[in-house]
């Protein structure tokens, strides 16, 4: 029998598809106990728009989430000013961030075993005068950690990033020994803790074409990446590379690895999204909590149409539940 886990699910941007993705879960089997952290008024309004009947259960810490068909447990967050599908309203920004903070603090207090996030709209939050660069950075600051790692995953592929949302011209200078060491250690440790992999095998991409071609196409591999990988290997990390990115993502290499580590956003993620868009999950590593998210945006054009696909949300919930159970198993081992 698998461990029961409870995940907080934030509904994201009120004008986007997040609220209706949450509603879809009421009629479907669930991978874990779920508590939707959102405005109940918003959810009810979207349910009326879509002609969906949902039995609402007000959730409080210590309660078991309802698993009954047609029901959703909700931790009601007030302050949602507008509930119009497809329309952005900067006045909702503080509410959106409160749902994230409530879910994250609930995880830190042990009320939830992890959190899953529906998409938010960064632009409208910034238009409200609130500096916000994304879920990842928000949770990093809230949890008080120095470094986090973005990893996207499908059932067949995991890709983590050394750098994330940087202009391409700034990437080489950002790939320092210190950053590489932090990212690789977090990736190795969290693959062990949250995915139950005893000795993770990690493929590492070079920065330049052909991994620098022996210095003829750039020296970052020779001067920074390879010496840093050697240091990490001496600590016991199983790191393979630096490899040319155009051949790393082939079965010859991937079949013998647990994850790939790309140097920058568009080096690794186009491959993963081509392989599994709509079935992928965004995982934040390096946090003291479990956090997964969908691999798509707010899709304002689909909001309120009933056509939104919950495939990525199901994946995010399944992976979040797996991570939470894996951590419980690791903790039991430490306690025994």
pTM of the model: 0.91
Average pLDDT in the chain: 93
| Residue 252, annotated as binding a ligand | no
What average pLDDT score do residues 153-181 get?
Answer: 94
Closest to 102 measured CA to CA, from 34, 194, 33, 38: 38
273 is annotated as contributing to ligand binding: yes
The annotation status of 318 as a binding-site residue, yes or no, is no
Q: Is 265 annotated as a binding residue?
A: yes
Question: How much is the pLDDT for 2?
Answer: 67
- Secondary structure of residue 301 in the 3-state scheme: coil
Mean local confidence (pLDDT), 257-267: 97
Instruction: With a cut of 90, say whether residue 330 has pLDDT above it.
Output: no
For helices 177-195 and 311-335, angle between their N-to-C axes, nearest 10 degrees: 90
Q: Is 60 exceeded by the pLDDT of residue 168?
A: yes
Tell me if 30 sits within 8 A of 91, measured CB to CB: no
- 27: region left, alpha or beta (phi > 0 left; psi from -120 to 50 alpha): alpha
- Given a cut of 80, whether residue 335 has pLDDT beyond it is no
Q: Report the helix count and the strand count for the chain, using DSSP H and E.
A: 13, 12
Bridge-based pairing state of the strands 238-243 and 71-76 = unpaired
99 among the known binding-site residues?
no
Q: Give yes or no for a contact between 73 and 63, defined as CB atoms under 8 angstroms apart.
A: yes
29-33 average pLDDT score? 85
What is the pLDDT at residue 334?
A: 62
Instruction: Compute the average pLDDT of residues 190-211.
Output: 96
Asked if residues 43 and 19 have their Cβ atoms less than 8 Å apart, the reply is yes
Residue 1 has pLDDT above 50, yes or no: no
Q: Is 165 assigned a ligand-binding role in the annotation?
A: yes
User: What average pLDDT score do residues 294-313 get?
Assistant: 92
Q: How many CB atoms lie within 10 A of CB 299?
A: 19
pLDDT at 36: 98
On whether 325 is known to bind a ligand per the annotation, the reply is no
- pLDDT per residue as tens digits for the range 213-247: 999 999 999 999 999 999 999 999 999 999 999 99
Q: How far apart are CA 309 and CA 56, in angstroms?
A: 22
pLDDT of residue 295: 86
Question: Which DSSP category does 218 fall into?
Answer: B
- Tell me the per-residue pLDDT of 55-113, one tens digit each, with 9 for 90 and over: 999 999 999 999 888 999 999 999 999 889 999 999 999 999 999 999 999 999 999 99
As a whole number, mean pLDDT of residues 9-20 equals 97
Does the structure show a pLDDT above 60 at 336?
no
Quote the percentage of the chain above a pLDDT of 70: 98
R_g (Cα) of the chain, nearest Å: 21
Taking Cα atoms as reference points, which of 141, 139, 113, 33 lies closest to residue 331? 113
Name 286's Cβ contacts closer than 8 Å, sequence gap at least 6.
140, 145, 147, 148, 149, 186, 190
Note whether 286 and 190 are within 8 A (CB): yes
Residue 276 has pLDDT above 90, yes or no: no
DSSP-assigned letter for residue 135 = H
Pair type for strands 114-117 and 55-58: unpaired
Burial of 43 (0-12, 13-18, 19+ CB in 10 A): buried
* 87 annotated to bind ligand: no
């Amino acid at each position: 029998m698998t461990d029961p886990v409870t995940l907080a699910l934030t509904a994201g941007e009120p004008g986007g598809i997040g609220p209706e993705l949450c509603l879809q879960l009421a009629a479907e089997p669930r991978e874990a106990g779920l508590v939707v952290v959102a405005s109940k008024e918003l959810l009810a309004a979207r349910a009326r728009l879509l002609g969906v009947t949902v039995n609402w259960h007000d959730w409080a810490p210590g309660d078991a989430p309802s698993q009954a068909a047609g029901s959703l447990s909700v931790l009601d967050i007030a302050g949602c000013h507008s509930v119009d599908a497809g329309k952005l309203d900067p006045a909702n920004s503080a509410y959106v961030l409160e749902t994230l903070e409530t879910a994250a603090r609930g995880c830190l207090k042990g009320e939830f075993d992890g959190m899953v996030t529906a998409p938010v709209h960064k632009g409208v939050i910034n238009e409200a005068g609130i500096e916000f660069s994304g879920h990842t950075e928000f949770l990093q600051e809230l949890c008080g950690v120095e470094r986090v790692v973005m990893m996207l995953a499908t059932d067949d592929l995991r890709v983590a990033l050394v750098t994330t949302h940087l202009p391409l011209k700034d990437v080489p200078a950002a790939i320092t020994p210190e950053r590489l060491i932090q990212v690789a250690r977090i990736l190795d440790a969290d693959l062990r803790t949250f995915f139950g992999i005893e000795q993770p095998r990690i493929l590492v991409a070079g920065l330049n074409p052909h991994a620098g071609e022996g210095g003829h196409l750039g020296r970052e591999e020779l001067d920074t990446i390879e010496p840093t990988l050697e240091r990490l290997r001496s600590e016991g990390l199983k790191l393979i590379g630096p490899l040319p990115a155009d051949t790393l993502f082939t079965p010859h290499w991937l079949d013998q690895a647990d994850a790939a580590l790309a140097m920058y956003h568009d080096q690794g993620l186009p491959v993963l999204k081509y392989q599994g868009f709509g079935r992928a999950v965004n995982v934040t590593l390096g946090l003291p909590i479990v956090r997964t998210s969908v691999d798509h945006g707010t899709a304002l054009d689909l909001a309120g149409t009933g056509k939104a696909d919950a495939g990525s949300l199901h994946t995010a919930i399944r992976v979040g539940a797996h991570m939470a159970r894996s951590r419980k198993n690791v903790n039991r081992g430490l306690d025994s």
